[in-house]
Amino acid sequence: MSERPSTMQQLIQDHRDRFNGTPAQHHLLRCLARCRTAAAGTHRWQCTACHHVDVVYNSCRNRHCPLCQSGDRSRWVRKRTAELLPVVYFHVVCTVPQQLHDLARVAPAFLYDLLMVASRQAIADLTRDPKHLGAEVGQIQVLHTWGRDLRLHPHVHSIVTGGGLTDDGNWRDCRRNRKRKKPFLVPVRCLSDRFRTLVIAGLQQAYRHGRFKDSDIDCAATPENWQAFIGSLWSQRWITYAKRPFGSAEQALRYLGRYTHRVAVTDARLSDYDGESVTLHWWDHCNGTKRQTRLTAQQFLQRFVRHQLPHGFRRLRMAGFLAPRVRQQRLEQARKLLVRRRRPAAQDAPQADRQEARPQGERRCSACGQGIMLVALIIRPVRGARPAVLVPRRWREQQSSHDMESSDANDGRHRAIDGPWPAHGEPAA
């Protein structure tokens, strides 16, 4: 157990007190600075056989923290494994022009929700059209707000099934390209036009209801400015594209797992921190080269907190026949229709992909290799008081033979205790 902070944590610890931001942004920086350090407290894993103890620092569990996403990502992938269908999957990306970035700074919750709704509706409208597919597809959406250089760049990633359920209760596969003989979802230009129409319609409706009346952005200052702003959005083509289909459903799920819980930057992309500035490494898609940018600590923090999502905003959504209300029923219907139509690509999935989607087993003890490691104690620091020591219920049930003097439960899952380490260990206090 090392107390050495990462480069990003060290930068935040050194400069967050001088950062001029909102209370929510300061709370985010405080969580990231304490994550997996002694200030966050510890939890102790103890073997049920040899009573070997591993002490690990607590995580902040913040969705913007780069250190806390691997566990959530693996759990999400395991849940989605049971929902895979033996069909091809497409990766669709919808982006917006730079003129909308000012609105994202003023009304992020409104604009981000509008982008996700418009992207979902554009895909649904085109796939329901008999000219393209004529069926309801399943969608998994993820919102990203950043570019490689941490500048504001809102865009929506969507994983779409290569087929859907028709109105008469049948399954219809996507068409194939006449020249390349490969699966084909919808024309990208039609998708771009439909997505642009839906976003602009949402902006017009919001402006008529006075959504930007009190904002200080120039495009909404006067009706003339607003009309000129809308005209500039209509005059350019919005970038949307659909990548080639994945080789198997497992590959699609593994690929999506890298997007669902990704944060704006990780410690691997930072180097040369000298206490005042840091070097950010990023990939330039325009010319296909690796680049680096030198930023002061305050500039880096300003770019990073800009991507903090509004409180309660859901950046991961499912739609179509994968919507939560109808998912179980529609998936069962789709499996029955596809049971005799499995694609070879789905059957011949790489072994690595299958191992990625399998549920992980119990954590084995590194000392004896036979016992199971369970969380025996959770120690949380309490400001101005004695640290709270909690014993999980699962450990109490596993170690029912041990005499553990306990007080009343703090909540439905843990119980606070006083006294020493309950079994073959150091004192908890």
Instruction: Give residue limits of the domains in the chain.
Output: 7-65+364-416, 83-264+307-357
> Would you say 305 and 25 are in contact if contact means Cβ atoms under 8 Å apart?
yes
Measured between alpha carbons, how far is 35 from 59 in angstroms, rounded to an integer?
5
pLDDT digits (tens, 9 = 90+) for 159-168: 999 899 999 9
The per-residue pLDDT for 232 is 93
Name the residue with tokens 């609105």: 103
Q: Is the pLDDT of residue 421 over 60?
A: no
The band of 195, judged by pLDDT with boundaries at 50, 70 and 90, is very high
The band of 4, judged by pLDDT with boundaries at 50, 70 and 90, is low
Backbone angles phi, psi at 318, to 5 degrees: -130, 140
The band of 283, judged by pLDDT with boundaries at 50, 70 and 90, is confident
The band of 40, judged by pLDDT with boundaries at 50, 70 and 90, is confident
Q: Which of 47-56, 245-254, 341-350 has the lowest mean pLDDT?
A: 341-350
Q: Is the pLDDT of residue 422 over 90?
A: no
Helix (H/G/I), strand (E/B), else coil: 271: strand
Burial call 177-206: b when 16+ CB within 10 Å, e when fewer: eeeeeebbbbeeebbbbbbbbbbeebbeeb
Residues sharing a CB contact under 8 Å with residue 102, sequence separation 6 or more, in sequence order: 217, 218, 219
Residue from 277, 331, 2 nearest 161 by CA: 331
- Pairwise pLDDT comparison (78 vs 327), residue with the higher score: 327
In the predicted model, what is the mean pLDDT of residues 150-179?
89
pLDDT digits (tens, 9 = 90+) for 364-408: 888 888 888 887 777 777 666 667 777 777 666 666 544 443 333
- Pairwise pLDDT comparison (201 vs 45), residue with the higher score: 201
Q: Is the pLDDT of residue 352 over 80?
A: no
Q: Is the pLDDT of residue 221 over 80?
A: yes
Q: Is the pLDDT of residue 253 over 50?
A: yes
The amino acid at residue 96 is V
The per-residue pLDDT for 383 is 66
Residue from 37, 32, 30 nearest 58 by CA: 37
Q: Is the pLDDT of residue 346 over 70?
A: no
The per-residue pLDDT for 405 is 37
- Other Cβ atoms less than 10 A from the Cβ of 131: the count is 9
The band of 410, judged by pLDDT with boundaries at 50, 70 and 90, is very low
Portion of the chain with pLDDT greater than 70, in percent: 83
The band of 317, judged by pLDDT with boundaries at 50, 70 and 90, is very high
The per-residue pLDDT for 344 is 44
Q: Which of 83-87, 139-143, 246-250 has the lowest mean pLDDT?
A: 246-250
The dihedral through the CA atoms of 198, 159, 93, 187 has a sign that is negative
The band of 413, judged by pLDDT with boundaries at 50, 70 and 90, is very low
Measured between alpha carbons, how far is 250 from 369 in angstroms, rounded to an integer?
31
Mean pLDDT of the chain: 81
